[in-house]
C-alpha cells in the first residue's frame, strides 16, 4: 500500500520529514501546506534532489478537500493550544495525523480538555491522531517504558538526555538560551520562551504506562554557564554567558519522586548521551554514548509511525498504545530496498 501524505508545516523539521518520506517507496507526498513559501515548490523549499510536482499552499481546507490524503504529517508548533484548530480541521476532513507537536505526545494530563476534544473528533471521523518525535515520543518516555517490560516491579524511572547543542539547528540553540546572559536567561524562562517542551508530557506518559497515579508533576529550568568561549556555526558563547540549559521533570507521589527526567542541552557538552535507569527487579541502566541525533530521529519517528497509525483504532493515541514503529525500508538504500544486492 502506498500512503498518500500531506505535509503540513514546511519549516526545518517539516522539510526534513519530506526529504525522508521521499526515500520511502510506500509514501507519496501529494500536497504541502505552509504559511510562508506559498506558491513555491516543495522540491525547492525542502531542497529535494528528486523531482516532485507539489506546490506549497496556505489553504489547508482547500488542499484537504482536493487531495484527500490518507495522512497528514504535521509540524507547525509545540503548543497544543496553538495547533488545535489545525488538527481539528485535518480530522474533520477525514485524514489521519502524525504531529511533531510536543504537547500532543501525551496531552491527557496537561491539556485534558483539548485531548478529549481531539479524541472525540477523531473517533467520530474514524481517523487516528498521534503526537510523536524523538523527545517527547521516544527517548524519555516510550523507551524507558518499553524497558520496564523485563521488570517484575519498578520503583523509580529515570531518563537522561545530554545533548551537545553545537551540532543542532539555530532555532534549537536559541530555544535553550545559548548565548544569552544569565539575567536574560532568567527573564526568558520566566516569560516562557526558554523551555524544552515535553517533559511533563513524558512524565505523564510513563506514569500512565506503569499505572502510577501521580500526585504531581514538577519542572525546573536552570542555565548551564559557559566556562570557556564556545563557537558554533551560528553563534558564539563567551565565558559567563549561558551555554544552554538543564531542565528536570519530576513525577511525584506524595513527597516522593518516582520519575525523573533530566534534559541537558548546551553548546560544548562534553559527554552527550541518552540513558534510561530503572530501579526495580531487575534494575539496570541502558546508555547510548554520544546520544541519538535529534533532528534525524524526529523525522524518522514521524515517518516510521505511519504504518502504525494507519493500522490503529480511531482516536487520539500515544506511543505507548501502538505496536512500536520500526524503520521502514528505503527505495534505494539498505537491506530493505529493492535494489539491495540484487
Residue for cell digits 530496498? 337
Per CB under 8 A, does 217 bind its own copies? Answer: no
Nearer to its own copies, 200 or 325 (CB): 325
Per CB under 8 A, does 285 bind its own copies? Answer: yes
Site string for its own copies, 173-212 (x = CB under 8 A): ------------------------------------xxxx
Per CB under 8 A, does 336 bind its own copies? Answer: yes
Per CB under 8 A, does 150 bind its own copies? Answer: yes
C-alpha cell recorded at residue 190: 520566566
Specify the 3-state DSSP secondary structure of 149.
helix
Per CB under 8 A, does 216 bind its own copies? Answer: no
Nearer to its own copies, 124 or 155 (CB): 155
Per CB under 8 A, does 289 bind its own copies? Answer: yes
Is-contact 39 105, C-beta < 8 A? no
Stretch that binds its own copies, among 51-59, 64-72, 73-81, 140-148 (CB under 8 A): 140-148
Per CB under 8 A, does 253 bind its own copies? Answer: yes
Asked, as a colleague might, if the bond just before 136 is cis with ω within 30 of 0, I would say: yes
d(CA 72, CA 58): 15
Task: Select from 258, 262, 267, 309 the one that contacts its own copies (CB under 8 A).
Answer: 258
Residues 6+ apart with CB under 8 A from 139: 159, 161, 274, 292, 297
Q: How far is the CB of 254 from its own copies (least distance, A)?
A: 4
Residue for cell digits 551560528? 234
Distance of CA 72 to the CA centre of its chain: 15
Stretch that binds its own copies, among 193-201, 230-238, 260-268, 286-294 (CB under 8 A): 286-294
d(CA 90, CA 263): 32
Residue for cell digits 513555491? 40
Residues 6+ apart with CB under 8 A from 44: none
**Interface ranges with its own copies (CB under 8 A):** 20, 23, 134, 138-139, 142-143, 145-146, 148-156, 209-212, 253-256, 258, 280-282, 284-293, 296-297, 299-301, 303-305, 320-330, 333-336, 340-342
Amino acid at each position: 500500500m502506498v500512503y498518500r501524505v500531506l505535509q503540513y508545516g514546511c519549516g526545518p523539521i517539516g522539510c526534513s520529514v519530506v526529504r525522508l518520506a521521499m526515500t520511502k517507496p510506500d509514501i507519496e507526498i501529494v500536497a504541502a501546506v505552509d504559511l510562508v513559501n506559498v506558491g513555491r515548490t516543495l522540491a525547492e523549499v525542502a531542497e529535494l534532489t528528486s523531482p516532485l510536482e507539489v506546490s506549497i499552499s496556505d489553504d489547508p481546507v482547500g488542499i484537504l478537500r482536493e487531495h484527500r490524503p490518507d495522512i497528514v504529517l504535521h509540524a507547525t508548533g509545540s503548543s497544543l493550544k496553538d495547533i488545535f484548530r489545525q488538527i481539528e480541521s485535518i480530522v474533520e476532513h477525514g485524514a489521519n495525523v502524525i504531529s511533531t507537536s510536543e504537547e500532543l505526545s501525551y496531552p491527557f494530563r496537561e491539556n485534558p480538555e483539548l485531548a478529549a476534544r481531539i479524541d472525540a473528533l477523531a473517533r467520530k471521523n474514524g481517523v487516528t491522531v498521534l503526537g510523536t518525535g524523538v523527545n517527547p515520543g521516544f527517548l524519555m518516555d516510550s523507551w524507558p517504558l518499553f524497558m520496564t517490560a523485563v521488570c517484575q516491579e519498578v520503583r523509580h524511572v529515570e531518563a537522561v538526555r545530554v545533548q551537545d547543542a553545537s551540532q543542532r539547528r539555530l532555532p534549537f540553540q536559541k530555544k535553550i538560551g545559548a548565548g544569552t546572559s544569565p539575567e536574560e536567561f532568567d527573564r526568558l524562562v520566566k516569560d516562557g520562551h526558554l523551555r524544552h517542551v515535553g517533559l511533563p508530557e513524558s512524565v505523564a506518559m510513563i506514569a500512565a504506562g506503569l499505572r502510577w497515579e501521580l500526585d504531581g508533576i514538577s519542572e525546573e529550568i536552570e542555565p548551564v554557564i559557559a566556562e570557556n568561549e564556545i563557537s558554533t556555526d551560528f553563534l558564539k558563547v563567551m565565558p559567563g554567558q549561558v551555554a544552554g540549559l538543564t531542565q528536570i521533570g519530576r513525577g511525584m507521589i506524595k513527597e516522593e519522586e518516582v520519575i525523573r527526567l533530566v534534559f541537558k542541552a548546551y553548546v560544548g557538552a562534553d559527554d552527550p548521551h541518552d540513558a534510561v535507569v530503572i530501579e526495580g527487579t531487575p534494575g539496570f541502566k541502558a546508555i547510548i554514548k554520544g546520544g541519538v541525533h535529534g533532528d534525524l530521529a524526529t523525522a524518522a519517528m514521524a515517518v516510521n509511525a505511519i504504518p502504525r497509525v494507519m493500522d490503529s483504532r480511531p482516536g487520539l493515541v500515544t506511543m505507548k498504545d501502538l505496536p512500536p514503529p520500526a524503520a521502514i525500508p528505503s527505495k534505494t538504500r539498505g537491506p530493505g530496498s529493492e535494489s539491495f544486492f540484487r
